[in-house]
């Protein structure tokens, strides 16, 4: 059975509509229009409604960069939003970047719920959690807010600094920050004999480490999964794998988990999506996860 999951607890985020290769989204009290390559269908709302509702629109100059066009010059470039579920409350600082991102992938809130819920069920008093390819740290914050000893690894120093800011505005402390190539870090942790109760992997399709290391998902994900399997605590653990590559299906993710984990309990695979208020579903990657409660 393949699961289709969408966030249920967002108050500060809303996908209003999507289509014609764009999405109309509200983050807090600011509404954006951004490119969306997977929205190949037609918009549900008329263009006049999009023009009326949005505050800022991203106009691409190339495949990787562009500019933000504001209707009102006083609209801020940075602002905060909050995410709450039954277990945690975290804050995130958003910003207008030159590559159309704002510092959060809203569909990942599904995984934040899974992380906080699972940590609450663990018998381990302070579970050790490892977040790889951790970006601005939503999953790290969720783990820390739920009471875990949390390590955050990303190869880009600027986004680790951003994640640290999110920790501060969330009223949290003592996340371990590591600027490193994820695969190199995992191999070092294996040599050290480290074990983790939870591991989150959110690898990009393509990427580079701090020293120019090249990452290509299909070339390196098997090696990464084989190594990560050696870091999981045998008695009590969870593992989440997200992939965004258009060539990856949830069946591939299932095969990876079954092939690298010796006893994958409570295995679930499927697709993350955002439900637009106007009606469409926007697919945003596939996931696989396993969980063993001691």
> What are the sequence ranges of the domains in the chain?
3-78, 104-292
Tell me how far apart the alpha carbons of residues 161 and 166 are, in angstroms, rounded to a whole number: 9
Res 246: pLDDT? 66
Residue 65 pLDDT grade (very low, low, confident, very high; cuts 50, 70, 90): confident
Which CATH code, of 3.40.1370.10, 3.40.50.150, 3.20.20.70, 3.40.50.970, is assigned to 104-292?
3.40.50.150
Residue 61 pLDDT grade (very low, low, confident, very high; cuts 50, 70, 90): confident
Tell me how far apart the alpha carbons of residues 164 and 28 are, in angstroms, rounded to a whole number: 21
Res 172: pLDDT? 98
Residue 92 has pLDDT above 90, yes or no: yes
Residue 89 has pLDDT above 80, yes or no: yes
Considering only 59-63, 69-73, 199-203, 274-278, which range has the smallest mean pLDDT?
Answer: 59-63
Res 290: pLDDT? 98
Res 207: pLDDT? 77
Res 294: pLDDT? 85
Res 162: pLDDT? 98
Res 137: pLDDT? 97
Specify the CATH class of 3-78 in words.
mainly beta
Residue 255 pLDDT grade (very low, low, confident, very high; cuts 50, 70, 90): very high
Residue 216 pLDDT grade (very low, low, confident, very high; cuts 50, 70, 90): confident
**Average per-residue pLDDT for the chain:** 95
> What are the CA-CA distances from residue 190 to residues 8, 210, 228, 282, 291 (Å)?
36, 20, 8, 38, 21
222 CB-near residues (< 8 Å, 6+ apart):
256, 260
What number is the average pLDDT over the span 69-79? 97
pLDDT, tens only, 172-196: 999 999 999 999 999 999 999 999 9
265 CB-near residues (< 8 Å, 6+ apart):
290, 291, 292
Considering only 26-30, 57-61, 86-90, which range has the smallest mean pLDDT?
Answer: 57-61
Res 234: pLDDT? 95
Around Cβ 168, how many Cβ atoms within 10 Å?
12
């Amino acid at each position: 059975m393949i699961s289709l999951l969408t966030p249920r607890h967002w108050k500060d985020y809303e996908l209003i509509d999507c289509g014609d290769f764009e999405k109309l989204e509200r983050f807090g009290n600011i509404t954006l229009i951004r490119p969306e390559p997977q929205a190949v269908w037609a918009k549900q709302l008329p263009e006049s409604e999009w023009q009326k509702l949005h505050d800022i629109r991203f106009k691409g100059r190339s495949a990787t960069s562009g500019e933000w066009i504001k209707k009102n010059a006083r609209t801020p470039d940075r602002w905060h939003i909050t995410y709450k579920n039954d277990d945690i409350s975290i804050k995130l600082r958003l910003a207008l970047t030159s590559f159309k991102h704002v510092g959060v992938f809203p569909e990942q809130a599904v995984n934040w719920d899974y992380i906080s819920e699972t940590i609450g069920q663990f018998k381990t008093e302070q579970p050790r959690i490892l977040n790889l390819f951790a970006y601005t740290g939503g999953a790290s914050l969720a783990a820390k807010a739920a009471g875990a000893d949390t390590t955050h690894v990303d190869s880009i120093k600027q986004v680790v600094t951003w994640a640290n800011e999110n920790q501060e505005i969330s009223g949290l402390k003592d996340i371990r920050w590591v600027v490193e190539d994820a695969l190199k870090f995992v191999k070092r942790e294996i040599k050290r004999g480290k074990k983790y109760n939870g591991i989150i992997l959110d690898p990009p399709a393509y990427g580079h480490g701090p020293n120019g290391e090249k990452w290509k998902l299909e070339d390196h994900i098997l090696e990464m999964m084989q190594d990560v399997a050696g870091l999981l605590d045998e008695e009590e653990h969870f593992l989440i794998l997200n992939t965004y590559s258009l060539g990856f299906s949830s069946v591939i993710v299932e095969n990876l988990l079954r092939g690298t984990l010796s006893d994958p309990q409570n295995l679930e695979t499927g697709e993350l999506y955002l439900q637009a208020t106007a009606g469409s579903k926007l697919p945003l990657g596939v996931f696989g996860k396993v969980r063993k409660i001691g």
